[in-house]
Amino acid sequence: MTITITNIRRPNSDTPETLTIENGLIKGWNLPAEGETIDGNGATVAPALLELHAHLREPGQEVKEDLASGLAAAAAGGYGTVVCMPNTSPVIDDPALVRALIEKADALGFARLKPSAALTKGQQGKQLAELSLLREAGAVMFTDDGRTNEDARVLRLGLEYAHSLGMVVSVHAEDATLRADGVMNEGAVSEALGLPGNPAAAEAARVARDIEIAALTGARLHVQHLSTARALDLVRDAKARGVPVTCEVCPHHLTLTDEALRGFDPMFKVAPPLRTQVDAEHLLAGLLDGSVDCLATDHAPHTRAEKEQDMLHAPFGIPSIEVAFPLMWTQFGEVLGLERLLHLFTGGAARVMGWPEPTLDAGQPADLVLLDLDTARPVTPAEFRSKAKFSPWAGQELRGWPTLTVVGGRVAYRR
């Protein structure tokens, strides 16, 4: 099967070009048109985005999201590959389940699914899961995300075992005892609102501990959704010391702060919580100086009814996979530049996983996205492919919307 995409531009180029795809691979640039021809309308072409942290809720919570809706949403957001989190029901700690999910996702034809699996059985933090069998089944990362790894010894063992398999362990780095019942960032805003706070120190303290364990074991540690300036400083220092640690930051921690909670709308209740403007600016600086390795969405869909509870009872998390790139491009495109931004969504994430950096060279897998960097369009949750049709950014005019996502040579999304 052959597809020719005409009238597209590579990043930072004004020259319209043509790309030919054949049998799932890039055949080459500016060849004579053949097969199905798609007009790129002058959009910018890039390798498809790579998501390291999405909650697709299958199995067990399909009312919030399932593989079909989640991977379609990912494709609509420009993603070609999604690493999903294992905090499902049951937990993804069984090799047969990993196989079944991959098989099902392959048949859907949206974004590729690369499941992560639980580090410990049932994510209970007590006994290691069958890490080697899980890897064999196709799991690409181990994490107890959704839970924090309270037992440092178990994390050490998990890191050592995963390292022997050449795998990354990613952590939700937050001291659960210090977080306590916090539902938002602890500070002046939480005191004014009378809501229980989660101190920045809960994240920093845990990041410090986990960095020490990574240094002890020499194993690859990936810190998820960093939200505080202090924790980022710790990662930066650790990297300078040569500790094998990487980290990700989410668009919502860069674009929103705890001030958003003043309306008591649980839409803005996320874990870790929205922090202060100082933290957000510090994280942005981390994107610029390279101490943040990649952007990840922590796409966390819920039902509308769940989010319409009060601040104490509503669940943590927002859907964001469909708006991540437009949001970052609109808000920080000028500061970061297109190349770095794309790197944070693609190559940076690949490097975290130890995967080759994706390119659009001949012979490479045809996973690509066309981005309309200029046309402003509002965020319209009703049009989301995700089952979670709400958004903190609803109505906001953004640029940089994906117009076409191709995965393995197949059109996975087209606007």
Partner 1 sequence: MTAFSDTRPRHLLDFQGWSTERLTAILDNADTMLSVLDRPVRKVPALQGLTVCTVFFENSTRTRISFELAARRMSADVVSFAASSSSLSKGESLRDTIETLTAYKVDAFIVRHEASGAAHRVAQFSGKPTINAGDGRRAHPTQALLDAYTIRQEYGDLAGRNVTIIGDVRHSRVARSNTELLTRLGANVTLCGPATLLPRDLAGERVTLTTDARTAVKGAHTVMALRLQTERMDAGYLGSLPEYIQGYQVNEALMEHAEPGAIVLHPGPMNRDLEISADTADGPRSRILKQVENGQAVRMSVLYHLLVGRA
Instruction: Compare residues 185 and 320 and give the one whose CB is closer to partner 1.
Output: 185
Q: Does 315 bind partner 1 (CB under 8 A)?
A: no
106 is in an annotated binding site: no
> What token pair was written down for 410?
């197949």
110 is in an annotated binding site: no
Question: How far is Cα 158 from Cα 283, in angstroms, rounded to an integer?
Answer: 28
Secondary structure, 3-state, 195-222 = CCEECHHHHHHHHHHHHHHHHHHCCCEE
The letter for the amino acid at 242 is G
317 is in an annotated binding site: yes
DSSP reduced 3-state for 45: strand
User: Smallest gap, in angstroms, from Cβ of residue 98 to partner 1?
Assistant: 32
Burial annotation 140-153 (CB, 10 A radius, 16+ → b, else e): bbbbbbbbbbeeee
313 is in an annotated binding site: no
Pick the binder of partner 1 from 71, 84, 195, 352 (CB under 8 A): 195
Pick the binder of partner 1 from 194, 242, 363, 395 (CB under 8 A): 194
Pick the binder of partner 1 from 23, 309, 375, 380 (CB under 8 A): 309
Pick the binder of partner 1 from 32, 166, 242, 263 (CB under 8 A): 263
User: Smallest gap, in angstroms, from Cβ of residue 109 to partner 1?
Assistant: 35
Contact 100, 111 (CB under 8 A): no
> What token pair was written down for 22?
């054949």
User: Smallest gap, in angstroms, from Cβ of residue 32 to partner 1?
Assistant: 58
Question: How far is Cα 55 from Cα 86, in angstroms, rounded to an integer?
Answer: 8
**Which residues contact residue 31 at a Cβ distance below 8 angstroms, ignoring those fewer than 6 apart?**
4, 18, 20
> What token pair was written down for 365?
């897998």
Single out the segment in contact with partner 1 by CB under 8 A; choices: 8-16, 271-279, 309-317, 353-361. Answer: 309-317
Contact 65, 58 (CB under 8 A): yes
Contact 234, 211 (CB under 8 A): yes
Q: Does 306 bind partner 1 (CB under 8 A)?
A: yes
343 is in an annotated binding site: no
Q: Does 312 bind partner 1 (CB under 8 A)?
A: yes
Q: Is 361 a catalytic residue?
A: no
Catalytic choice (279, 298, 367, 372): 298
316 is in an annotated binding site: yes
Neighbours of 363 (CB within 10 A): 9
Neighbours of 106 (CB within 10 A): 11
Q: Is 23 left (phi over 0), alpha (psi -120 to 50) or beta?
A: left
Instruction: Compare residues 8 and 314 and give the one whose CB is closer to partner 1.
Output: 314
Pick the binder of partner 1 from 311, 338, 362, 411 (CB under 8 A): 311
Instruction: Compare residues 130 and 265 and give the one whose CB is closer to partner 1.
Output: 265
222 is in an annotated binding site: no
Q: Does 260 bind partner 1 (CB under 8 A)?
A: no
Single out the segment in contact with partner 1 by CB under 8 A; choices: 94-102, 127-135, 263-271, 402-410. Answer: 263-271
The letter for the amino acid at 42 is G
Single out the segment in contact with partner 1 by CB under 8 A; choices: 39-47, 187-195, 199-207, 369-377. Answer: 187-195
Q: Does 308 bind partner 1 (CB under 8 A)?
A: yes
Q: Does 310 bind partner 1 (CB under 8 A)?
A: yes
CA-angle at 257, arms to 254 and 260, nearest 5°: 130
Q: Does 191 bind partner 1 (CB under 8 A)?
A: yes
From residue 95 to residue 114, the character string flagging contacts with partner 1 as x (rule: CB under 8 A) and all else as - is --------------------
Residue from 396, 381, 268 nearest 327 by CA: 396
Binding residues for partner 1, rule: CB under 8 A, are: 187-188, 191-196, 263-265, 305-306, 308-313
Annotated binding-site ranges for substrate: 55-57, 87, 302, 316-317
Q: Annotated catalytic sites, by residue? A: 298
